[in-house]
Structure 1
Amino acid sequence: MLRLSDPGEKTAAARRLRRDWLDGRLELDEMTPVVALPIPGRPPQPLLVAPREVPRRGLGTREGRAALVHAVRSGMWRSVRAGSRKPAHSAVSSPRRRSRVLSGSMRRGR
């Protein structure tokens, strides 16, 4: 399955593997030697085009809505990742202010 390069074939093979595993048709044998694979299968590299040459997709089409959802999801993921790298106290400017904020939140039972 890992050597397949066609995304459709790879997806179908992964689904078959999962189905066979869940149905109990596969066994995990810890004595089977691990075989090194050559380079895993990948789809051919897409043709790169200038942004102005990419066809526009309206929101009235399935492809257009999918592109919008993908763009929003990607932006949200980047925002979440960027936010998770900031220290929790970054909004509080000074150590003295931090201690007052923390002590105040403790008094309120938070």
Structure 2
Amino acid sequence: ARELGNLPGNICTPTYLAEQAIKLGQDLDNLVVDVLEESDIAELGMGSFLSVSRGSREPAKLITLNYGGGGDSKPIVLVGKGLTFDAGGISLKPSQGMDEMKYD
């Protein structure tokens, strides 16, 4: 995650993240990776999710990683988001430091 977070948004795109997740899933037996494309996301009625990527020429992806290695123990659920460029409040932020707005 640290290496991905250090990449600029023009390299670490949603497509690139999906490719990396798929590779990870191929390497680990207990990890199932599912990547939803924009059409899948729209079909699920996730308009707010899609609105975040509307300003990008890169299509949105919804990537889920399901690790099935817990056996009989209680499941642990982690939920996170991965924005490859954080432009939130861009009109309020000074230009200084914008080059570091890589992820959120």
Does TM-score exceed 0.5, indicating one fold? no
Larger Rg: 1
Higher helix share: 1
With normalisation by structure 1, the TM-score equals 0.25
Q: Hey, which of these two has a bigger chunk of strand by percent?
A: 2
Q: Structure 2-normalised TM-score?
A: 0.25
